[in-house]
Structure 1
C-alpha cells in the first residue's frame, strides 16, 4: 500500500505530513469538486421536506444552530470537496430524520410517555476504549443498543420495508457507506469502525437537534465550540431521550445501554435527563487518547482537507480535551455514588470481570456465569488489536512529546487515580 509500512497486522503510516493519494482518493476528490452545495438552514430544510414529503420539524429553535453549523463549514477554508459533500449529506440526513421523528410522534403521541428505564450510560475521553466497552455490554442482548444501521435511519420509511432480495435496506445502505469510506481511508477501520452492526454513539440522536460536539470531528469550528459550550444542552438531551422513546416504540422495551464521550462535559444535564441511569465513566491517560485523536485527524486530512497540517489538530484538540476533562472534574460530584462506576484503564486490563460485576450490580441486572462467558467471548473476539492496529508516533508526526501534552492535565491526575501509560 503506497505510503504505508505493514508488519503483519500492524500498520505504520509513514506519509502523514505529505500523503501519497491513491487513485480512489484522487477520483473521489475530482468527482466531489464538480458538485456545489448551498450551506444554509433554509436550503437544507427545504431539501429535507422535498425528500420526505413532511413539513413539521417540531420546535424551531434548532434553526439557529443549523445555520451556525453551515456558517462554520463556510468559515473553514481548508475543507476538501469530499468534506463538503459529506457534510451536506449528513446535515440533510439529520433534517430528514428529525421530520420523521416528529411525524411518528405526532401520529403516536403515546411515544412521549414511554419510560427509558434505568439505562447504562457510558462516558469517557474520546479514543479511550468506550467503544469497546459499549460493544461488550451490548453483547448481552438483555440490553438494547443502537447499531450504526439504525442510528443513521432511526425511523424506517416505506422504502425500508424488507423484500425477498433485501431483508434490511437500512443495513444495506449503511454497508454501502462503510465500503465507500473504507475505500477512501483503508486504515481507518483499525482506528474506529463504522460497519453496519457497529454499536453507535447516541450522538447520532443528539444531532437531530443540531447540537453536540459532533461537527467538531468533521471540521475546525471554534465558533460552534464556543456556542455549544456556552449554551445549556437540556433541550438536546431531551431530544436524545425522545429518539430513544421512538426506537423503543418501534422495536421493543429492553433497557438501553448508550454512550458518548461528550457526556463527560455534560454530567449535570445527563443526570437531569436520565436520573435513574447507571453512569459508567472511563478514565485513561489523556496522552494516549489525544495521540490517537491527532493521528486520526491527520490521516483523514488527506481526503477531508486540502492540506495535511499537524498544527491544526494539535492546536485544537489538546485544548478541547482539557475542557472536556475539566468539566468532568468539576461536575463528577453531581452523580450519585450508588449509580456511578469509575473505570480505570489499568484496573480494567488486570481484571475486567470485577468491573463488569460492579456495573451489573449497580444497574440491578443479574450477571451469571453464562452471561459472563458470552461477554468473555466478545471481549476476546473484538479486542481492538485483533483485526489490526496502527502505530502512532507523536514526535515524528506532530513534533511533540507525551510529557508536552501531559503537563496540561495535572488537574485530572490530581482528581482521579489514572496511571500514566505513554512515555
Structure 2
C-alpha cells in the first residue's frame, strides 16, 4: 500500500512544538484563509447539503436539529480557531448533513436495508496509540472481513449521480486522495503520527457523527460544552443509528462480517454490547502516559495551523482528564462483555506476538483462522513494521511541564485492573 510522502527520518524531534516556525506553504495558507470570515449559520449549511444531496428529509425524529444546533454552537464558541479550521469544520458539518440526507433517502428507497444483519463483528476497543490501528488494519487483511477505509468514512453514502467514473474509480475515493496529498504538502509530520491515507482503516465513530452524537468534535476543536452534551445523550439510540449506517454500507459495498474500532466505545460499552450483542471484543491496554503524550503532542503540532495560539497547559489538562474518563468507564464496565467473547491485549505483548493473539480472538469469535488468512496476516505484518514512518521523540517535561511519573500517578486504578506496563 503506497504511503505517499512518508518521512524517512529515524527520529522526529519537535524543537518548535510550542512556538512553531511555519514553512512558507503553511504561512501562505494561513494568510490566504484568515482574510475570509467563515459563517456557521445552520440554514446556510443545510441549504448547501440539500442542494448536494438532491433531497431534503433529514430524519429529525429524535431531536437531530437540537444536536445540530449544539454541535454548531460549540464550534462557534471556540474563539481560538483559525478561519482555516473553521472552514474545514464547516465543510465537515455540510458533509455530515449531506450524507445523512442521502442515507435517509436510501433507506426509504430500499426498506430491505433495515433487515440486513450486522452479525458477529469483531470490535477493537482501546485508547488511541494503544495498538488499535495496527490491530484493526491487520484484521482487515482477512478478506472475509468488511472494514471502513478512511475515504468511505468521510462520505459513506454516495450522492445522487455519483457512481464510479469510466475507469471504475469512486469519486469519493478520488476526493480523499486529493485531500491527503494536500495534507502531505502542508503538514507531512502528521503521517508519522496518524497517517490517514485513503485506504487506512478508520473509526466507525465517524459514521455515528451522521447522527451528531459522537465525541469526534473534541479532536478538532476545544469544545468542553460539546463533551458534556455528548455524555448526556442516550447512546443506545445513537448506536442503533450507527448500526443503520453499517447496514447501508453492507448493502452498498458487499455483505461481509465487520471489523470495527473506536476509543469512544471505552465509555459506551453498555450501548455497544446492547447494539452488537454477538460481538467479539478485543480490548487493548497501554500506559496512559504514552497515550496522553502522543495525543497532546499531535494536537499541539496540528494547532500551528488550526489555532491562533498553542496552549500546552490546556491540552495537558483536557486530555489527561478525557483519557481518565474513558479509562474509568472501561474499568467500570469491562465485565459487561463476557470473558468468552473478549480478550485483553497489553501493548507490550502486541509487537511481534500478533499471531497467537489473533488465534485467541478468532477462537473466541468462533471463526476459523484458515491458512490463507494466516498468510494474509503475515504479509501485512512484514509490510508494516512498527514506526515505519519514523519514531517521534516525546518530551513531556519540556513541552508540557510535567514528568511521566507525575502524570502516571493519576491512573493507579487502571494499572490495578489491567496488565499495563509503565513505559
Same fold (TM over 0.5): yes
CA contact (8 A) 2:54 2:160 kept: no
1:368, distance to aligned residue in structure 2 (A) = 2.9
Residue 199 of structure 2 is aligned to residue 197 of structure 1: yes
Q: Spell out, residue by residue over 1:47-82, the C-alpha distance to the aligned partner (whole angstroms, 9 max, x if none).
A: 211222211111341211121111111221111111
Q: Equivalences for 1:101-116 in 2 at 5 Å? A: 101-116=103-118
Mapped partners of 1:40, 1:317: distance in 2 = 29
CA contact (8 A) 1:148 1:194 kept: yes
Mapped partners of 1:111, 1:7: distance in 2 = 45
Q: Please name the residue that 2:321 is paired with.
A: 319
Aligned partner (choices 404, 415, 418) of residue 416 of structure 1: 418
Mapped partners of 2:167, 2:30: distance in 1 = 33
Q: Equivalences for 1:258-337 in 2 at 5 Å? A: 258-337=260-339
Q: Name the SS for the 2:194 alignment partner.
A: coil
Q: Please name the residue that 1:3 is paired with.
A: none
1:36, distance to aligned residue in structure 2 (A) = 3.1
Q: Equivalences for 1:7-406 in 2 at 5 Å? A: 8-60=9-61, 61-164=63-166, 167-349=169-351, 351-406=353-408
Q: Please name the residue that 2:3 is paired with.
A: none
CA contact (8 A) 2:266 2:329 kept: yes
1:350, distance to aligned residue in structure 2 (A) = 5.7
Mapped partners of 2:44, 2:71: distance in 1 = 13
Q: Spell out, residue by residue over 1:15-36, the C-alpha distance to the aligned partner (whole angstroms, 9 max, x if none).
A: 1011011111112112222333
Are residues 83 and 399 of structure 1, via their aligned partners in 2, closer, same or farther at CA, if it must alter by over 3 Å? Answer: same
- Unpaired runs of at least 5, structure 2: 1-6
Higher mean Cα deviation, 146-155 or 237-246? 146-155
1:158, distance to aligned residue in structure 2 (A) = 4.4
CA contact (8 A) 1:40 1:67 kept: no
Higher mean Cα deviation, 22-31 or 198-207? 22-31
1:165, distance to aligned residue in structure 2 (A) = 5.2
Mapped partners of 1:98, 1:109: distance in 2 = 16
Mapped partners of 2:201, 2:8: distance in 1 = 29
CA contact (8 A) 2:213 2:233 kept: no
Mapped partners of 1:325, 1:342: distance in 2 = 14
Q: Spell out, residue by residue over 1:305-364, the C-alpha distance to the aligned partner (whole angstroms, 9 max, x if none).
A: 001221121110000100000000111111111111111112223622221101111112
Q: Name the SS for the 1:160 alignment partner.
A: coil
Higher mean Cα deviation, 280-289 or 42-51? 42-51
Mapped partners of 1:405, 1:341: distance in 2 = 27
Mapped partners of 1:299, 1:242: distance in 2 = 36
Mapped partners of 2:160, 2:237: distance in 1 = 30
Q: Spell out, residue by residue over 1:197-232, the C-alpha distance to the aligned partner (whole angstroms, 9 max, x if none).
A: 011110111010011110000011111111111222
CA contact (8 A) 2:282 2:344 kept: yes
1:166, distance to aligned residue in structure 2 (A) = 6.1
Q: TM-score, normalised by structure 2?
A: 0.95
CA contact (8 A) 1:98 1:209 kept: yes
1:96, distance to aligned residue in structure 2 (A) = 0.2
